């Protein structure tokens, strides 16, 4: 197994710094941040190596978060090019797909088109895998499919949770469905699904979790999805009564009475800004208004890929944590192993 933080390879490229997360639409994968917070692209380029231990905490509550509103096409291309940690091999709308031609030219790929092979989900930071070789992209997609069928994890996420799981390690299994509610697509758990439910789109989902560190009523958790479903990891952690920090969609499903947490009905609980305990907000050195804009602390940290040539050793690709994620760990006294 080779660990590859940054190296020339040929055929595909991996983007290791994604500061706002990615929003997937119909045929579109786009960089996305919430309005009202973030920093400029030039700041991102100065903050390469965000996994390093930072010094005293500054005044910026979410350092390293990309503000798309002040970014040009050329600026986004610069950010994406600077974000490459490994290499092998709609007009008018600023999206990742829309700037792939410019990114291809900027990376010296000439007439070879880039395509998205693997990316983290909505609002999630981390690795994005792009390919300029159709054969390589096809081989990797087959590898992903075979790995899922074999229940072999290939992706590892880091998450900070509001709450600490009851056990330090375990598996999460849940049947999930996607419902369109009030103009928003939401993931709903399904108890005791029938055969008809599965025929109508309900899917069994599985994840493995491991608690890396605990402190201040929060936890740093490694998550490995064994299936692919929208917002799977966020919903799985809600089912553990430990929503991901910055989850402003599903965290409202966890209620608290006299210090005891319980699940509220998913069907009748509307998304709302995550409500954090006052002591936790102070520990994070945020104002209540800033805590309502807290970015999702879910990061695609590691991908396991096969060697691209016969007899070539498998690769482990790593993406450093975004600066705002590292700042949160420092505030909470959580250490990444």
Lowest mean pLDDT among 74-78, 85-89, 308-312: 85-89
| Chain centre to alpha carbon of residue 291 | 19
In this prediction, residues 15-22 reach a mean pLDDT of 39
Largest CA distance in the chain: 62
**Residue 94: per-residue pLDDT:** 63
At 155, is the pLDDT very low, low, confident or very high (cuts 50, 70, 90)?
very high
CA dist 143 and 264 (Å) reads 38
> Per CATH, which fold does 153-336 belong to?
Pseudouridine synthase (3.30.2350)
DSSP secondary structure of 230-243: TTHHHHHHHHTT-P
Contact present, 92 and 64 (Cβ < 8 Å): no
**Tens digit of pLDDT for each residue in 156-192?**
999 999 999 999 999 999 999 999 888 889 999 999 9
Structure tokens at 208: 């493995």
- As a residue count, the chain comes to 337
**Residue 100: per-residue pLDDT:** 78
At 59, is the pLDDT very low, low, confident or very high (cuts 50, 70, 90)?
low
Domain boundaries, the chain: 67-152, 153-336
CA dist 82 and 79 (Å) reads 5
At 132, is the pLDDT very low, low, confident or very high (cuts 50, 70, 90)?
confident
Q: What is the pTM of this model?
A: 0.75
Contact present, 284 and 144 (Cβ < 8 Å): no
**Tens digit of pLDDT for each residue in 87-115?**
444 455 566 677 778 878 787 877 778 88
């Amino acid at each position: 197994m080779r660990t590859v933080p940054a190296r020339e390879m040929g055929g595909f490229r991996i983007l290791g710094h994604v500061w706002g997360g990615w929003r997937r639409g119909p045929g579109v994968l786009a960089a996305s941040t919430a309005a009202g917070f973030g920093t400029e692209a030039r700041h991102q380029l100065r903050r390469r190596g965000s996994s390093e231990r930072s010094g005293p905490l500054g005044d910026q509550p979410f350092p390293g978060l990309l503000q798309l509103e002040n970014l040009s096409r050329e600026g986004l291309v610069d950010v994406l090019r600077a974000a490459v940690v490994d290499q092998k091999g709609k007009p008018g709308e600023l999206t990742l797909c829309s700037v792939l031609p410019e990114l291809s030219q900027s990376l010296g790929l000439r007439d070879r088109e880039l395509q998205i092979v693997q990316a983290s989900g909505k609002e999630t930071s981390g690795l994005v895998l792009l390919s300029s070789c159709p054969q390589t992209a096809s081989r990797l997609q087959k590898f992903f499919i075979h790995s899922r069928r074999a229940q072999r994890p290939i992706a590892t996420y880091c998450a900070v949770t509001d709450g600490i799981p009851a056990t330090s390690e375990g598996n999460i299994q849940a049947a999930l469905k996607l419902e369109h509610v009030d103009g928003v697509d939401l993931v709903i758990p399904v108890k005791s699904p029938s055969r008809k439910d599965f025929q109508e789109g309900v899917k069994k989902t599985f994840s493995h979790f491991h608690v890396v560190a605990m402190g201040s009523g929060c936890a740093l958790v490694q998550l490995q999805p064994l299936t692919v479903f929208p917002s799977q990891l966020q919903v799985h952690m809600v089912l553990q009564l430990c929503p991901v920090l910055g989850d402003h969609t599903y965290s409202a499903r966890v209620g608290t009475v006299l210090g005891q947490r319980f699940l509220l009905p998913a069907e009748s609980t509307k998304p709302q800004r995550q409500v954090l305990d006052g002591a936790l907000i102070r520990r994070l050195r945020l104002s209540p208004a800033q805590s309502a804009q807290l970015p999702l602390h879910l990061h695609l940290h590691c991908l396991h890929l096969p060697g691209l040539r016969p007899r070539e050793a498998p690769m482990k690709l790593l993406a450093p944590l975004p600066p705002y994620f590292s700042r949160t760990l420092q505030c909470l006294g959580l250490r990444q192993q």
